Amino acid sequence: MPTVKFVNEKKEIEVPEGANLRTAAMKAGINVYNGINGFGAGINKFVNCKGWGMCGTCRVLVKNKGENCAPKTTIEKLRLSAPIPEPTVIKKDDEELRLSCCCNIEGDVEIITKPALDMWGENFFS
Ligand code: FES
């Protein structure tokens, strides 16, 4: 069985192959929702699309460019590229950025929950 290591929470769980990351995290008591850089995280835990890949608020970083996870779905790719309702701009970690509700686990993975959003881009003040 694959092992999922949640780096920030310092927690490891074993899941069946093909398990959904969001579901596995919730079963382990880990909140994948962060609001906008922590603002609204408490509300976001309850106000989200419940795993339909529409709200984009369950984003996580999967180390090693997301290997050992199923490929991104079309819905996930569209949601991660859309700036609405919030800018999801994490350019340098693009391949590692996943929606946990759309990410199925195929092997051992390391997960960083609640990655910070770069709200204004690198050149905002230039
Ligand atoms: S729960 Fe809404 S995109 Fe994952």
Ligand 1 pocket check for 31: Cβ under 6 Å: no
Distance of CA 87 to the CA centre of its chain: 14
What does pTM read for this prediction?
A: 0.84
Q: How far is the CA of 124 from the centre of ligand 1 (A)?
A: 28
Alpha-carbon separation of residue 67 from 13, 41, 62, 95 (angstroms): 18, 28, 8, 10
Helix H or strand E segment including 69:
none
Task: Supply 12's token pair.
Answer: 């490891």
Tell me the per-residue pLDDT of 76-112, one tens digit each, with 9 for 90 and over: 888 887 765 555 555 545 788 899 999 999 999 999 9
Ligand 1 pocket check for 51: Cβ under 6 Å: yes
Ligand 1 pocket check for 75: Cβ under 6 Å: no
Using DSSP's 3-state secondary structure scheme, residue 22 falls into helix
* Position in ligand 1 atom list of the atom nearest CA 56: 3
Spatial distance between the Cα atoms of 95 and 48, rounded to a whole number of angstroms: 23
Helix H or strand E segment including 111:
strand 109-113
- Give the pLDDT of the chain (126 residues) as one tens digit per residue: 999 999 999 999 999 999 999 999 999 999 998 877 777 778 888 889 999 998 888 989 998 877 899 999 999 888 887 765 555 555 545 788 899 999 999 999 999 998 877 666 555 555
